[in-house]
Structure 1
Amino acid sequence: MRTWLGPAIFGLIVAAATAWAVIAYLPYGLMNVAMDRLGQGGINAMSYGNLATPERQPVVRPSPDLAYSSCPYDLANGPVAIDVAPVPGRYSSLSLFDAATDVIFVRNDVEAGGKPYRIIVARDGQAVPAGAEIVRTNHDRGIALIRLLLKDPTEIGALDAVRRQSSCRTVTNPK
């Protein structure tokens, strides 16, 4: 019995260490993949994706009746301003995800009263504009994702100009 006890304990230790490493680091790897897929416009710039099709699915299980706009952000050079212009008569939402894939902020058009709004994403200690609505995060990187619900996929052309009024950029003069 003692001859296999040592290898069994060693195997359990290796399994536990492997499980811990996967749990600790997998979300960051997944976020890097998502930032690459969604960042056609670059970092700290909004991309306005095409509608999902069976051949084109930039996110896991995308909805064919949602138009996605995304901004992979990096706070290394300062806070990032995200301006959202809701499309009248259509449900939309902004979700912010940090580098660990945690949701750090959500707002929909109803909560915003159907009006445009600005969110500043910043790390602790970063200067931000006075009076701005601030979302603080513990990570430099993440993704802002805007979802716009369509009644019919063919209406994206008529709504695209309003959707493109939403933007994302580094705050250059926070005071």
Structure 2
Amino acid sequence: MMRRWIFPILAGGLVALSAYQATLLATPYALMYAALQKIGGAGPENRFAFSQMATADNQPIVRPSPDLSYSTCVFDLSKGPVLVDVMPVPGRYWSVSIFDARTDVAAVRSDRDTQGGPARLALMKMGQKAPAGYEPVLLGYDRGLALIRILLANPSEFPVVDAIRRKSTCKQLPTAN
């Protein structure tokens, strides 16, 4: 009698395990797709969108910190490398993080890494070459997100910080014809 149930139980367990694995593999892509759709609406691809300081009514990033200024760039490498130049904000902690389409962090640079200078990153796929003066960041996917965070000690500092951060760029590397 028990033998009759072994195959259905094993088959059910295999289906459940397969569904679990599929969910684990698909979830990061689905989350990043949703984030890129939401954030991408703030501006065109391969260009930074500079948001206002986060409030209860304005949250450009999921669970934002109220003492951080955020800038986002949804990038697309399908037409070639994308150059990210982040201008330093003197006397402040700042960082730029590069996330790929799977939500993996491909690179993080901060004021401590650049020792007061700008961060200059070339987002590219294998086989492409970074221009002189740019640090290559190899990605396995065409799309992703660059996120700049700048710490403010006081909200009144925002206008000064905003003017500096708007000098940061995210742009497609011009192609030679």
| TM-score computed with the length of structure 1 as normaliser | 0.92
* 1:87 aligns to 2:89 (yes or no): yes
Q: Distance in 2 between matches of 1:127 and 1:81?
A: 12
Q: CA deviation at 1:6?
A: 2.3
Q: CA deviation at 1:87?
A: 1.1
Question: Moved runs in structure 1, 4+ residues, more than 3 A?
Answer: none
Q: Distance in 1 between matches of 2:10 and 2:59?
A: 43
SS in 2 for 1:71: strand
The answer for unaligned runs of 5 or more in structure 1 is none
Q: 2:114 corresponds to which residue? A: 112
Q: Deviations over 1:128-170 (max 9, x none)?
A: 3245311111111111110000111232123211110111000
Q: Distance in 2 between matches of 1:148 and 1:159?
A: 8
Q: Deviations over 1:9-53 (max 9, x none)?
A: 121111111111111111111111111222211211101112222
Would the alpha carbon gap of residues 20 and 2 (structure 1) be closer, same or farther in structure 2, given more than 3 Å must change?
A: same
Instruction: Summarize the alignment of residues 12-161 of structure 1 with structure 2, pairs less than 5 Å apart.
Output: 12-39=13-40, 40-161=42-163
May I ask how many residue pairs the two structures share in their alignment?
174
Q: Distance in 1 between matches of 2:156 and 2:76?
A: 34
User: Aligned letter for 2:8?
Assistant: P
Q: Distance in 2 between matches of 1:80 and 1:69?
A: 16
SS in 1 for 2:99: strand
The answer for unaligned runs of 5 or more in structure 2 is none
Would the alpha carbon gap of residues 98 and 43 (structure 1) be closer, same or farther in structure 2, given more than 3 Å must change?
A: same
Q: CA deviation at 1:60?
A: 2.5
Q: Which stretch of the first structure deviates more once superposed, 59-68 or 91-100?
A: 59-68
Task: Determine if contact 2:99/2:146 at 8 Å carries over to the other structure.
Answer: yes
Q: Distance in 2 between matches of 1:14 and 1:52?
A: 44
Identity of aligned residues (%): 47
